[in-house]
């Protein structure tokens, strides 16, 4: 049985929720392996809408085991709130259905506060984070001062870890002119939620190994997108974790040989939330039209997304860096009835041409897109479930994208409904 990694190939918001839900029905296990509750996946199942930030998308499937790997940073209060929200909708979340890596690091209220204080201090130079403490939590992880899920079970050790953590954070808070954190209050807050979180904790790496040996299908669910990767994205306007497929192994505790297929979720146009370079952005009527048709607002923040033409250069780079075997092309229907479409096939800065996204910040901000014009289509693609349902020009558009990004389309999504999907190649049967 193939094990599949799902990653975004752009700047996130590519429609991973629907595709992961579609795949999770075929999976035995769904694993989150990076990021935190800054991710936002919307699932539409019948007339019910589920908006998940931290829980794996498989949690809405009664027969699917969900896991949160060690590569994820976990806000325990946000997690419990999300569990409560699902319970109110009839989704039972128990330790039998959800496992959390004992060695995953926690996001604390002080991380969220620091995130917001820093963004405010940056002013116009702000990065555009969600303000949920993801970056500061990863900083503490790398600096080896994090409080982890397993620490909640040992009060004495937890007290010491809090003291060490606050030695750093209270110095920062003094520098930022804000109140220091009270160690006892933080300890009391953590001890209160410790048994609730601890009930789900365990050795995810070990259970995954056993499940793999048993021949179970494992789906690794990524958050954000490849161009937000801390190493390979549009730095510094990136997230604080690795978002490429290789992180699935590191962030869940399973070897890279366990990965059989990498599916890159790719929107038929390009969007971005927050700050940072965006060569194909259309800050005009066409961008507004795409945003309205595509309902481009962030699942987590509600922020309006910036919209633009499909950037084949960027996606081709993501295909190579993330090891993408095939893509799931989403939101094709949003482009219906646009007379002519533009696709970015290269960049230039002055007289110099680029066939990749430059690494330097100056170059990123100064590249100009080189476009290829493609004839649009007047017919509707919404709800199409076979190639025969698609207009000829829509098929030409898809085929041209395949050529430019050097990866095949494995799935094609034509609406938010999970069944409005054209399956070209089942990743689990690779």
> Is residue 191 within 8 Å of 151, Cβ to Cβ?
no
φ/ψ (deg, to 5) at 25: -65, -25
Beta-carbon contacts of 163 under 8 Å, excluding residues fewer than 6 positions away, are 183
* DSSP H or E segment with residue 316: helix 312-322
Neighbouring CB atoms inside 10 A of 209's CB total 15
φ/ψ (deg, to 5) at 88: -65, -20
> Is residue 74 within 8 Å of 68, Cβ to Cβ?
yes
Q: Identify the active-site residue in 21, 37, 41, 115.
A: 41
Neighbouring CB atoms inside 10 A of 184's CB total 9
Integer Cα distance of 135 and 229 in angstroms: 12
Does residue 41 carry a catalytic annotation? yes
Neighbouring CB atoms inside 10 A of 160's CB total 12
Alpha helices in 99-218 (DSSP H): 109-122, 134-142, 155-175, 183-198, 204-213
Q: Measured between alpha carbons, how far is residue 44 from residues 16, 19, 51, 60, 98 in Å?
A: 12, 11, 9, 11, 21
* DSSP H or E segment with residue 67: strand 65-68
> Is residue 75 within 8 Å of 133, Cβ to Cβ?
yes
Q: Please state whether the peptide bond connecting residue 305 to the residue before it is cis, i.e. omega within 30 degrees of 0.
A: no
* Catalytic residue positions, numbered: 13, 41
């Amino acid at each position: 049985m193939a094990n599949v990694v799902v990653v975004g190939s752009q700047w996130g918001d590519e429609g991973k929720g629907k595709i992961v839900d579609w795949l999770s029905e075929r999976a035995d296990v769904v694993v989150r392996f990076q990021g935190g509750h800054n991710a936002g996946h919307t699932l539409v199942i019948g007339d019910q809408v589920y908006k998940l930030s931290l829980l794996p998308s498989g949690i809405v499937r009664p027969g699917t085991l969900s896991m949160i790997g060690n590569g994820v940073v976990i806000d325990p209060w946000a997690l419990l709130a999300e569990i409560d929200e699902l319970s109110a909708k009839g989704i039972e979340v128990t330790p039998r259905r959800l496992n959390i890596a004992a060695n995953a690091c926690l996001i604390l209220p002080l991380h969220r506060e620091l995130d917001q204080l820093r963004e405010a201090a940056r002013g116009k130079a702000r990065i555009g984070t969600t303000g949920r403490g993801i970056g500061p939590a990863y900083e503490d992880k790398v600096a080896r001062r994090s409080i982890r899920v397993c620490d909640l079970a040992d009060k004495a050790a937890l007290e010491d870890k809090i003291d060490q953590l606050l030695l750093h954070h209270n110095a920062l808070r003094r520098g930022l002119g804000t109140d220091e954190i009270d160690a006892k209050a933080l300890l009391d807050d953590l001890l209160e939620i410790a048994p609730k979180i601890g009930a789900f904790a365990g050795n995810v790496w070990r259970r995954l190994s056993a499940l793999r040996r048993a021949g179970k299908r494992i789906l690794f669910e990524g958050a954000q997108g490849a161009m937000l990767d801390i190493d390979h994205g549009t730095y510094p306007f990136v997230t604080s974790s690795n978002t490429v497929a290789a992180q699935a192994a590191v962030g869940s505790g399973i070897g890279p040989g366990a990965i059989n297929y990498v599916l890159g979720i790719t929107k038929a146009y390009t969007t971005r939330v927050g700050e940072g370079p965006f060569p194909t952005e259309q800050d005009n009527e066409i961008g507004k039209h795409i945003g309205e048709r595509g309902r481009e607002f962030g699942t987590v923040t509600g922020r309006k997304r910036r919209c633009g033409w499909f950037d084949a250069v960027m996606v081709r780079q993501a295909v190579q860096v993330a090891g993408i075997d095939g893509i799931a092309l989403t939101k094709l229907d949003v482009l219906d009835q646009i007379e002519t479409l533009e696709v970015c096939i290269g960049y230039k800065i002055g007289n110099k041409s680029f066939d990749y996204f430059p690494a330097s910040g100056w170059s990123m901000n100064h590249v100009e897109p080189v476009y290829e014009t493609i004839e649009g289509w007047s017919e509707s693609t919404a709800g199409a479930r076979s190639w025969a349902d698609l207009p000829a020009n829509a098929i030409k558009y898809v085929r041209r994208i395949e050529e430019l990004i050097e990866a095949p389309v494995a799935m094609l999504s034509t609406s938010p409904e999970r069944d409005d999907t054209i399956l070209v190649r089942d990743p689990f049967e690779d």
